[in-house]
């Protein structure tokens, strides 16, 4: 592509953009007209969009050039799991691009969280977390009395959003990045609300409320700097380094899809196959026995830290899922438990 560098940082690579040809057949890069080519991103897989014969809605803009996202009623939703829960058969688009917790009611939604997506500019190993991009926390916007909200976000900045409960734990999440153009106000009437008409925005409290400022990004916890020191200080009396619970090894704790790092008595059997990977293989959103992708409340590690099961189910409800098990008293402070939850919710970065 025109202007494509042959190196990104210290690595050989390319900066892919989207172009359209002005000559058919195209004979040279000079035939290409630029559509978009941002230096921090690889734009690819353009889609053909067929216009519909409907009126184009007018763009809603802010008066001051800021970028805002708002909902007239985030308490209303059509996003329900109508097919029921089947453990380890959840590898579907919904579980990788967005999902809700099956046994947690939407009424627990207390705030909307926003994470800024950080572009990958080096080797893939440098973003080792469950999302695929490192993130920074923009913060939570609390729902108003009528479940509406209004937040100001950084303009021209990719973000993902999640719904959190009153304890700050994610119960719904979306892993498809969005962004707001300069001066844009994006308005919705509910959470994936499609089957019915939502509350008109002008009738919500958010309409006249000031926007909640979420324009300053903050670092999220990492395993190396924040989580492993807690384990080393508080867990070694029961869980020795090199023991059968891999608390002190990031890869074995977070990325053990096939439970290879666990002794047999710790493994959860998935099938009767003689193939070890299939027999013990976990599918997304589980990325290890202890970690559910971007869900602390669905993660065994968080249950053990909080000494309770937090996914809305019980051990005896299903016979083939991961159980909390015996009482697990811990010497963790509430702030340490919360930090482990924040780490898991934000993608369990190394």
Distance CA 3, CA 30 (A): 11
C-alpha count within 13 angstroms, C-beta hemisphere, residue 129: 26
Distance CA 151, CA 71 (A): 9
SS3 219: strand
Distance CA 147, CA 71 (A): 8
Residue 50 pLDDT: 73
> What is the pLDDT averaged over residues 8-13?
53
Distance CA 275, CA 265 (A): 17
Break the chain into its structural domains and give their ranges. 1-55, 67-219, 223-345
Task: Band the pLDDT of 129: cuts 50, 70, 90.
Answer: low
The residues, ordered by sequence, that sit 6+ positions from 221 with a Cβ below 8 Å of its Cβ are: 227, 339, 342, 343, 346, 349
**Sign of the C-alpha dihedral, residues 318, 322, 323, 324?**
negative
> What is the pLDDT averaged over residues 121-132?
63
Question: Is the Cβ–Cβ distance between 135 and 347 less than 8 Å?
Answer: yes
Over residues 82-97, the pLDDT tens digits come to: 677 788 876 555 555 6
Which range is most confident: 102-106, 120-124, 309-313?
309-313
pLDDT exceeds 70 at position 126: no
Residue 138 pLDDT: 98
Distance CA 326, CA 116 (A): 38
Give the residue, 131 or 218, on which the prediction is more confident: 218
Tokens standing for residue 134? 């490192």
Q: Bridge-partner residues for 32, per DSSP?
A: 21
Task: Band the pLDDT of 197: cuts 50, 70, 90.
Answer: confident
Distance CA 30, CA 71 (A): 45
Which range is most confident: 13-27, 265-279, 301-315?
301-315
Burial 188-201 (b: 16+ CB within 10 A, else e): ebbbebeeeebbeb
Tokens standing for residue 208? 């006249």
């Amino acid at each position: 592509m025109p202007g494509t560098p042959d190196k990104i940082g210290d690595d050989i690579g390319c900066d892919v953009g989207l172009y359209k040809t002005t000559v058919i057949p195209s004979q040279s890069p000079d035939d290409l007209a630029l559509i978009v080519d941002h230096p921090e991103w690889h734009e690819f897989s353009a889609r053909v969009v067929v216009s519909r014969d409907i009126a184009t809605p007018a763009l809603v803009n802010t008066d001051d050039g800021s970028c805002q996202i708002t909902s007239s009623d985030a308490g209303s939703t059509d996003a329900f799991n109508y097919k029921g829960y089947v453990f380890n058969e959840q590898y579907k688009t919904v579980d990788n691009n967005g999902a809700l917790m099956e046994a947690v009611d939407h009424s627990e939604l207390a705030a909307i969280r926003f994470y800024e997506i950080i572009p990958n500019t080096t080797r893939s190993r440098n973003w080792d977390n469950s999302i695929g991009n490192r993130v920074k926390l923009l913060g939570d916007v609390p729902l108003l009395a009528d479940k509406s909200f209004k937040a100001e976000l950084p303009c021209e900045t990719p973000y993902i959003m999640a719904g959190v409960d009153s304890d700050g734990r994610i119960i719904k999440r979306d892993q498809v990045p969005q962004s707001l153009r300069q001066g844009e106000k994006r308005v919705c009437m509910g959470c994936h609300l499609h089957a019915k008409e939502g509350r008109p925005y002008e009738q919500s409290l958010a309409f006249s409320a000031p926007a909640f400022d979420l324009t300053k990004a903050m670092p999220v916890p990492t395993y190396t700097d924040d989580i492993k020191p807690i384990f080393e200080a508080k867990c070694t009396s029961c869980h020795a380094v090199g023991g059968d619970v891999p608390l002190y090894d990031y890869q074995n704790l977070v990325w053990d899809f096939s439970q290879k790092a666990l002794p047999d008595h710790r493994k959860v059997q998935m099938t009767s196959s003689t193939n070890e990977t299939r027999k013990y293989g976990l599918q997304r959103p589980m990325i290890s026995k202890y970690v559910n992708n971007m869900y602390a409340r669905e993660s065994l590690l968080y249950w053990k830290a909080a000494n309770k099961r937090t996914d809305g189910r019980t051990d005896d409800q299903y016979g083939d899922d991961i159980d909390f098990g015996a009482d697990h008293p811990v010497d963790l402070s509430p702030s340490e438990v919360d930090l482990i939850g924040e780490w898991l919710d934000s993608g369990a970065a190394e």
